[in-house]
Amino acid sequence: MIRRRSLLALAGLGGAAALLPAGPVHAAPPRTIDLPAPTVGRPVGTTTLHLVDRDRPDPFAPVPAPRELMVQLWYPARGTAGRPRAPYITPRVAAAIEQDLPLDPGTLARVRPTAHTGAPVHPGPLPLLLLGHGRRGGRSNCTALAEELAAHGYLVASVDHTYDAAAVEFPDGRLVRSVLPEDPPDWDAAERKEIAARVGDLRFVTGELTGGRLPFRVDADRIGVLGHSMGGAAAAEALRQDPRLRIGLDLDGGLFGSPVPELGLDRPFLLLTSIDDHDTWQRWREHHHAWGRQLRTLGAGHLSFTDLPHTAAPGHLADHLPADAYASLLGTIAPARATALTRTYVRAFADRFLRDRPAPLLDGPSPRHPEIEFRWSRP
């Protein structure tokens, strides 16, 4: 079993930097890195929002200031004519992240998503899924998953948690880097502070998107929250606190920084993991009060639930990491298969509880998806 500190060391893309030995530098070839297209051919749009919570001081800002966020939205579009393909990430954020990552410089600039910037949104109301990144990660980390959900009719809102995310670029040109230490002296206190900030962000964004002030019609009765790694822990705590949220989903995150392991949850919660078990998951299972599943993806690594596997080979990640670290991050499963499985089970879960659609995949093992192991079910 991987211990708590080991999971946190792999929590976000930036967390991989601590594992880096010196490695060769490769000239990046000019070809693009295409993320897997959504499994349906419906058009997807994307846009960014700059939101300021003037009622909440930023707990990480070096000087007193309201909490300020960048949020990326993916949504079903009416069409994409005349709208450019969206970049994966801004050039300045990409450069900042690549200073910390063991990827060749220029790798992230070559990643090409499917969505088109500013495409007209399909009329709502739309079910909403809030999406959180791993510790010292970023809002683009699960773009392939977000685009799949948007193509199937969801509005997906991915939050850059400022001062936690590896780098956040604001419209006025400010670039804010992560201030989170790699190894804080008091992990318990750090986790509580980080989760509290993230939950505050998710609750604020929910209010902004459902408040009628933005050009998106959200079905306030169909809202869920999910996240990778520390984002999954924050999703669990947000579900515990906020009655507006109907479901929660954790992509391989230890349930740190909150009382969820001791109290459980009273709404449906799905845990997708790369390892067989973790002490916080054991405690959560003992106290959970509603529908719940823990499904393990055999052959996956901690970052198999993100876009990183699609950039690993083009960015020569294996040249920069010891073999055991690479295996912990990416496992042995093929990138396209990892993305396909994550998309399939996340969408089945959301469809079942936000759209009341049958989802037999969640009832037991499937011969079409033999990599998915049912570790625990209720009921």
Q: What is the pLDDT along the chain (379 residues), one digit of tens a residue?
A: 344 444 444 444 444 444 444 445 555 456 899 999 999 999 999 999 999 999 999 999 999 999 999 999 999 999 999 999 999 999 999 988 887 777 889 999 999 999 999 999 998 899 999 999 999 999 999 999 999 999 999 999 999 999 999 999 999 999 999 999 999 999 999 999 999 999 999 999 999 999 988 889 999 999 999 999 999 999 999 999 999 999 999 999 999 999 999 999 999 999 999 999 999 999 999 999 999 999 999 999 999 999 999 999 999 999 988 889 888 999 999 999 999 999 999 999 999 999 999 999 999 999 999 999 999 999 9
Contacts within 8 Å (CB) and 24+ apart, 263-269: 263/287, 264/288, 264/289, 265/236, 265/239, 265/240, 265/289, 265/290, 265/292, 266/290, 267/239, 268/292, 268/349, 268/353, 269/236, 269/239
Q: Domains in the chain, start-ordered, CATH in brackets?
A: 4-378 (3.40.50.1820)
Do the Cβ atoms of 371 and 341 come closer than 8 Å? yes
List phi, psi (to 5°) of 336: -65, -40
pTM more than 0.75: yes
Q: Cβ–Cβ contacts within 10 Å for residue 82, how many?
A: 8
Q: pLDDT digit string (tens) for 6-26?
A: 444 444 444 444 444 444 555
